[in-house]
Amino acid sequence: MELWIATTNRGKLLEFEMILEPLIKEGKLKLKTLGDLDTYFPPEETGATFLDNARIKARSLKAVRPGAWIVAEDSGLAVEGMNGLPGVHSARYAGPKASDFENRAKLLKIMGLKALANRNASFICQMVVFDSDGQEHLFDGELKGTIAKAEAGKTGFGYDSVFIPEGETKTLAELGLAFKNKVSHRARAVEKLLELLRQKP
x-or-dash pattern for ligand IMP, window 9-28, by CB under 6 A?
Answer: x-------------------
Neighbours of 164 (CB within 10 A): 20
Using CB under 6 A as the binding criterion, the count of chain residues that bind ligand IMP stands at 18
Pick from 60, 90, 146, 181 the residue near ligand IMP by CB under 6 A: 90
Angle CA(95)–CA(175)–CA(168) in degrees, nearest 5? 95
The reply to whether 74 sits near ligand IMP by the rule CB under 6 A is: yes
Pick from 131, 157, 168, 191 the residue near ligand IMP by CB under 6 A: 157
Helix (H, G, I), strand (E, B) or coil at 163: strand
Residues 6+ apart with CB under 8 A from 108: 147, 149, 150, 151, 162
Closest distance of CB 133 from ligand IMP, Å = 26
Is 133 annotated as catalytic?
no
Closest distance of CB 11 from ligand IMP, Å = 7
Shortest CA distance to 40 belongs to which of 2, 70, 1, 75?
Answer: 70
Containing 23, the helix (H) or strand (E) segment is helix 21-25
Residues at the interface with ligand IMP (CB under 6 A): 9, 45, 74-77, 90-91, 100, 103, 123, 156-160, 184, 186
Catalytic residue positions, numbered: 74
